Amino acid sequence: MLQRVLTADIGNTFTKFGVFEDSELQKRFAIPTERIVVNLAQYVGDTEFSAIIACSVVPEAETSFKEICTHLLGLEPLMITHEIDFGMSIKYEPPESLGTDRLVTAFAAVEKYGYPLIVCDFGTATTIDVVSSKREFIGGIIFPGVEMLSQALSEKTSKLPKVEVKKTEKVIGSSTVSCIQSGIFYGYVGFAEKVISKMLEEMGEDAKIIATGGNAKLFAEYLNILVNENLTLEGLRLLFERTTLGKNSAN
């Protein structure tokens, strides 16, 4: 029997959705988190789902998300918590302070690519996390995302505009806009390269490096890393298959 599962990654800026039919991703879309209640119906229509599974870093959005799922789709979503078995030993203190999105993404990366690995999520905030050869989530870094940096420059200075973040052909900018774009892009590449290099040094072993998130493709070429933009959504689907909780909800 076909299982159609709606996965949702509730982020600070956008909530990213994936529609899976069994193991295949059929559709993906994103809605501003503050507008889920208003806009979700236009994306899912009268689609019938077997289950809904979600992770969230925005506690204040969870109640409205549950309400719209129950009202619109007739299902209460399964919210990922730290009680779920992620198949990893969590070496993070305290474990409850670790965002479930980071755990879901790391879990998906391990399931798809093995371990040890470094997983980079270039979203509103950038996280770079490590899973060791002992299958231990040992932590990582949290850093402002590129859009946040661009916005901060504009808001905290009187003359600098907010610019589109993109790769520039030259490091040396010839205008204020190109100087900001170059500074953010190449500064971010340098930051990521250094962090990954230091992580590998501290790990003392080679590791696969995977990137996900809205800005992953922007930096992947320069960082020479594999990109999977759907990693968190795929992780949610895999957790649905893995957990007894998910299996029970589909019955």
Separation CA 204–CA 231 (nearest Å): 26
Which candidate, 54, 13, 8, places its Cα nearest to that of 27?
Answer: 8
Q: CB of 155 within 8 A of CB of 175?
A: no
Could you give the 3-state DSSP secondary structure of residue 77?
coil
Q: CB of 153 within 8 A of CB of 180?
A: yes
Which candidate, 139, 128, 141, 98, places its Cα nearest to that of 213?
Answer: 128
Q: Is 85 a catalytic residue?
A: no
Which candidate, 63, 140, 153, places its Cα nearest to that of 103?
Answer: 140
- The alpha carbon of 63 is separated from its chain's Cα centroid by a whole number of angstroms, namely 21
Residue 48 has which token pair?
């019938």
Could you give the 3-state DSSP secondary structure of residue 82?
coil
Which candidate, 69, 68, 75, places its Cα nearest to that of 51?
Answer: 75
Whether omega for the bond prior to residue 77 falls within 30 degrees of 0, making it cis, is no
Catalytic residue, candidates 22, 46, 85, 101: 101
Residue labelled with tokens 């070496």:
91
List, in order, residues 6 or more apart from 224 with CB less than 8 Å away.
Answer: none
Residue 109 has which token pair?
């990366």
Q: Active-site positions?
A: 101
